[in-house]
Structure 1
Amino acid sequence: MAEESKIVLSSEDKSLGTIQISPRVLEIIAGIAASEIDGVSKMYGSFANSVSELLGRSDRRRGVKLSSNDEKLSLDVDVYVEYGVSVPKVAAMIQDKVKQQITLMTDLKVKEVNVHIKGIVTSKEDQQVDPNDLFGEHLNDEAGE
């Protein structure tokens, strides 16, 4: 695996050394920020991400891809939204929150945040099947018949 390139944070006082941040850290910041938005159901991830989650390992950078050039960052954020929300409003809130959090935490400039809606998740309906009466045999008993 190729070594990750580090992003050097600018600092006024260079006498103590440099500050480097891994792109993975920026992806984690963006992933957490996006998942906190009301209307986001979950982050999109690969099959490997799903298997890792089943094993109890949460990947907070799931659904986020970072690219950087000329000290400006571009992020792609892939999400599932809840049914009934305004997709443009949720996408705009994701863009604002991700840009705000990365700028606040690192002083890096975010050029763009591209939001990709991968799907819509409906709310789970109440269970219609009684686990004690799977075949509905006692349905008529309750009606007094």
Structure 2
Amino acid sequence: MGEGREYVSRSDELGNIHISEEVLAVIAAAAALEVEGVGGLAANLGTDLAELLGKKNLSRGIRLQVEEENVTVEVAILVKYGYTIPDVGHAVQEAVAGSIEATSGLTVAAVNVSVGGVVFEKEPKKAQ
């Protein structure tokens, strides 16, 4: 199962189940982006450069640490202007933890949210 990826393995009575950490990161990213008030995921310089070179990263702004069957998630978000940051952060924690636990069966030990900026949305132009 090479390719330089990390996998979370679970034993089952029928065999083993291997879940890529990338899959867990994409699940976390999708859950975070669905939260009202989240304007996007914050990325680091390496992620931005990779995207400029054509490598799309669906899990940008997400880092995972897996120990046995416990997952700690680091989420870096951008908050839309006008939303209360602690409320959005808490909603992201709940959404990410719920999604990972529901889809993978793993236990989420913590979801740490970092707000990397504020997004100002432009108002749509009014028809004249």
Q: TM-score range by the shorter chain?
A: 0.7 to 0.9
- Specify the alignment match of 1:47 in structure 2: 45
Instruction: Mark the CA change 1:58 to 1:37 in structure 2 (over 3 Å): closer, same or farther.
Output: farther
8 Å CA contact 1:30–1:101 kept in 2: the answer is: yes
8 Å CA contact 1:9–1:107 kept in 2: the answer is: no
Q: Which segment drifts farther, 65-74 or 41-50? A: 41-50
Q: Distance in 1 between matches of 2:95 and 2:114?
A: 15
- Specify the alignment match of 1:88 in structure 2: 86
- After the TM superposition, which parts of structure 1 deviate over 6 Å for at least 4 consecutive aligned residues? none
Normalised to the residue count of structure 2, the TM-score between the two structures is 0.84
* Residue 36 of structure 1, CA deviation: 1.1
Q: Distance in 1 between matches of 2:10 and 2:64?
A: 16
* Residue 113 of structure 1, CA deviation: 0.1
Higher relative contact order (CA 8 A, sep 6+): 2
Gaps of 5+ in 1: 128-145
* Residue 60 of structure 1, CA deviation: 1.5
- Specify the alignment match of 2:27 in structure 1: 29
2:65 to 59, 64, 67: 67
RMSD: 2.2
- Specify the alignment match of 1:139 in structure 2: none
Q: Distance in 2 between matches of 1:39 and 1:52?
A: 26
Normalised to the residue count of structure 1, the TM-score between the two structures is 0.75
- Specify the alignment match of 1:8 in structure 2: 9
Counterpart of 1:18 in 2: which secondary structure?
strand
Q: Distance in 2 between matches of 1:122 and 1:86?
A: 14
* Residue 123 of structure 1, CA deviation: 2.1
- Specify the alignment match of 2:76 in structure 1: 78
Gaps of 5+ in 2: none
